[in-house]
Structure 1
Amino acid sequence: MTPKSETILPSITRRSLMVIAKDYLGLEVEEREVYFEEVKDFAECGLCGTAAVISPVGKINDHGNEICFPSGMTEMGPITKKLYDTFTGILLGRNKAPEGWIKVIE
C-alpha cells in the first residue's frame, strides 16, 4: 500500500538517509506505510531528524505491548551505524557527497 502524501514527513534527513541506503550501501529502499504488526519482525529500528541524524530505538511500548530491538538497547545496529557513519562522513567532508548536495558559497 502506498502511503498518502500527507502521511510522509517532508524530512530532508529522511530523504538523505534513503539516498545513502540505496546509493552508498546498496540496500533496497522502500517507502510505504508500516503496520504495527510488522514491527516485531524488524531487525533494527531507528528514528531520524536533523540534530540526531538517526538514533536507534531499543523498545516500543504500545499500551503494555512491548517490542524490543536488541540492537538498539545499548548501541546502534550495524545498518543504523553504517547509515549514521556515512551521513556524518558526508557532512564532515570525509565521504564524497552526492551531486548537488554541497554548494560552495564564495
Structure 2
Amino acid sequence: TYMTRPTDPLQVLPPELIGNTFYFWLLDHVYPNTKYSHSQLPVLLALVSKSWRDFVYASPLLWAHIIIDTSQGTVANLHALRKRLERSQGAPLFLDVEVGEHP
C-alpha cells in the first residue's frame, strides 16, 4: 500500500491562523502537563519540527508573555528576560511577576 506523509499544517494553513492558534494555546494555559512552566511553552512548540521551530522563532507575539519568578534568582530572570525581549521584537508585552511561592 502507498503511505503518504502527513501534511505539515504550516504548509497548508494561513500563517495568521497558525500564529493565532499558537498564541491562544499559550495564553489560555491549555497545556495540561505541569512538568513545564508557561514560559517554556514556545520552546515546546519549537521542538515539534524544523518548520514549527522556524515559525515559532519568527513569531514575536509568542514571546511577548514574560513571566518573572522572583524565587528563580536574578541571573536566571535576567537571562530569560533578555531572550524574551529579543524574540518579542516590537510586540506588545504582557509582564507577569510572581513573588514568593505559589501552590
Q: So what's the TM-score if we normalise by structure 2?
A: 0.30
Higher strand share: 1
Higher helix share: 2
